[in-house]
Amino acid sequence: MNKKKVKLLFCDVFKEELALLKLPPEEYDIEYLPMGLHYHPNKLRQEISAAMARVSGYSLVILGFGLCGGSLNGIKAPDSRVVMPRVHDCLPVLLGSREKYNELQKGDKRTFYFSGGWVEGERMLIQEYERSCIQFGPKKALKIFRMMFENYRRMMYIHTGHPRDASTLEKMREFAGIFNLPSFETTGNLEYLRKLVLGPWDEENFVIIPPFGLIDQNDFLAEGEELSVQGAQSILRGESDVC
């Protein structure tokens, strides 16, 4: 392996946005893991651990995941440094900054966010609702999913430059209408994602793990702060996680 090459191990929620950065393939080796793994925190942890264990000989590893509800806590770095965003989940990265996310949360913490990747991602909420309608019938599926969303008051679509922004936005609007939730839009920004891949990596927004070091969830938590993650790990267990 060329020691100058950088390994990118990313959740595929970022696939279209990462393509917009037009990274030269001779310098970057990109691997995606399905975002549907977030339904199963233990499996998510196992898959990322296995992927990290396969990595060898790179100059740097960029991890396109947040702490993900603690799923990445304790995962061991390979024989190179690992850089990852200092976030709980992907939302601040899609929005462009943690400040933008916090600002939106002040408006209403009971917001469920979507992006093009969140709409199209394999086995994500909209697809699961459609499958449930087939498996259980529309009436039972609606009852189940209404319980899941009972503590959310709105849905918000993040525009990221996704090539199918218009169609995925419309699909989110239709989904929100099923639960009588208002839908909103906001503009994302690729700057956080760009800095994650290209640097520079300031201490406030990024965590750097040394070779063979361990990801420590305490590096992501402010004093008194608890673990949080949007939806996928909690809403599909019937919990009312508001992040």
For 21-48, the pLDDT digits (tens) are 999 999 999 999 998 787 778 888 999 9
Can you read off the two tokens belonging to residue 42?
Answer: 């233990």
| Residues 180-193, mean pLDDT to the nearest whole number | 96
Residue 121 scores a pLDDT above 90: no
Residue 99 scores a pLDDT above 90: yes
Q: What are phi and psi of 129, to 5 degrees?
A: -65, -45
Residue 234 scores a pLDDT above 80: no
Query: CA-CA distances (angstroms) from residue 110 to 100, 103, 107?
Result: 16, 13, 9
> In the chain, which ranges are E strands?
6-11, 28-33, 60-64, 82-85, 111-114, 154-159, 183-187, 206-209
Residue 72 CA to residue 47 CA, distance in Å, equals 10
Can you read off the two tokens belonging to residue 86?
Answer: 């200092």
Residue 107 scores a pLDDT above 90: no
Least confident of 44-48, 123-127, 130-134, 148-152: 123-127
pLDDT at 237: 44
Average pLDDT value for the chain:
89
pLDDT at 120: 92
Can you read off the two tokens belonging to residue 202?
Answer: 């300031």
Residue 150 scores a pLDDT above 70: yes
Least confident of 10-24, 33-47, 125-139: 33-47
Can you read off the two tokens belonging to residue 88?
Answer: 């709980």
Task: Enter the DSSP assignment of 93.
Answer: H
